[in-house]
Amino acid sequence: MQIALDIASWTLLIAGGAFVFTGGLGALRMPDFYTRMHAASLTDSLGTILVLFGIALQAGVSLAALKLITITLFLLLTSPTAAYALANAARLSGVNPEHVVATNEQR
């Protein structure tokens, strides 16, 4: 039972770490603002939440696990909202996706 829990939690932790890494890489390497932001929002939502679930499994049935799940719920609400607000603000201030602009001008 303990081994199964450990395997599950480590799988979640490593998957979360992989998503955080991908997000960081994407934020550095993607071509324009929106794709970079898309990559960065991955870090916030998927990466952090997987890591938090992994830690919660390590904590077992306890107050710490409850707190971690509460934090996860909070992040599930706030980080997509922040990503939305950021993209919306960028669009309102006239930042355009690079390649879409080109195709629009061709039409």
Residues 6+ apart with CB under 8 A from 58: 5, 6, 9
Nearer to another protein, 8 or 95 (CB): 95
* Other CB atoms within 10 Å distance of the CB of residue 62: 10
Nearer to another protein, 7 or 28 (CB): 28
Residue 10 within binding range of another protein, rule CB under 8 A: no
Residue 21 within binding range of another protein, rule CB under 8 A: no
Q: Is 105 exposed, middle or buried (0-12, 13-18, 19+ CB in 10 A)?
A: exposed
Q: Site for another protein (CB under 8 A): which residue of 5, 7, 85, 100? A: 85
Q: Site for another protein (CB under 8 A): which residue of 7, 81, 100, 101? A: 81
Residue 78 within binding range of another protein, rule CB under 8 A: yes
Residue 72 · residue 49 · CB < 8 Å: yes
Q: Site for another protein (CB under 8 A): which residue of 84, 101, 102, 104? A: 84
Residue 62 within binding range of another protein, rule CB under 8 A: no
Residue 104 within binding range of another protein, rule CB under 8 A: no
Encoding tokens for residue 31?
A: 């071509």
Encoding tokens for residue 58?
A: 């390590």
